[in-house]
Amino acid sequence: MPSGVITGVCVSLWIMSCVVTLTWAEDPNLTRALRLMSETPLIDGHNDLPWQMREQFNNQLNKVDLNTLTTTHTNIPKIKEGKLGAQFWSAYVRCESQYKDAVRQTLEQIDVIHRMCQKYPETFMFATSSQDLTTAFTQKKTASLIGVEGGHSIDSSLATLRMMYQLGVRYLTLTHSCNTPWADNWLVDTGSEPSEHNGLSPFGKQVVMEMNRLGMLIDLAHVSVKVMNQVLDISKAPVIFSHSSAYSICPHKRNVPDEVLRRVNKTQGIVMVNFYNDYVTCQKTAKLSDVADHFDHIKMVAGAGIIGFGGDYDGVSRLPEGLEDVSKVPHLVAELLRRGWTDDEVKAALGMNLLRVLQQAEKIRDSLKNTAADDVPIPSEEVKNPCRTRDGQASAGAVQTLSMLALMITLSVQALIQ
Point out the catalytic residue in the list 290, 296, 312, 325: 312
The yes-or-no answer on residue 48 being catalytic is yes
The yes-or-no answer on residue 149 being catalytic is yes
Question: How many C-beta atoms lie closer than 10 Å to residue 105's C-beta?
Answer: 17
Cβ-Cβ contacts under 8 Å for 113 (sequence gap 6 or more) = 50, 89, 91, 144, 146, 168
Q: What are the residue ranges of helices labelled H in 40-140?
A: 49-57, 76-81, 102-119, 130-138
DSSP label at 157? -
Angle between helices 28-39 and 3-25 (to 10 degrees): 80
Spatial contact of 355 and 43, defined as CB atoms under 8 Å apart? yes
The yes-or-no answer on residue 46 being catalytic is yes
Point out the catalytic residue in the list 48, 155, 184, 335: 48
The yes-or-no answer on residue 312 being catalytic is yes
Point out the catalytic residue in the list 222, 252, 294, 297: 222
Point out the catalytic residue in the list 73, 132, 152, 176: 176
Measured distance CA(269)–CA(266) in Å, rounded: 8
Point out the catalytic residue in the list 197, 243, 252, 294: 243
- Kindly state the helix (H) or strand (E) to which residue 190 belongs, with its residue range: helix 187-190
Measured distance CA(24)–CA(198) in Å, rounded: 52
Question: How many C-beta atoms lie closer than 10 Å to residue 21's C-beta?
Answer: 10
- Give one DSSP letter per residue of 68-82, joined into a string: T--SSS--HHHHHHT
Strands of 242-319 (E only): list them: 270-273, 307-309
Measured distance CA(244)–CA(240) in Å, rounded: 10
Measured distance CA(411)–CA(418) in Å, rounded: 10
> For residue 336, is it left (φ>0), alpha (ψ between -120 and 50) or beta?
alpha
Point out the catalytic residue in the list 149, 219, 290, 314: 149
Read off φ and ψ for residue 229, nearest 5 degrees.
-70, -35
User: Active-site positions?
Assistant: 46, 48, 149, 176, 222, 243, 312
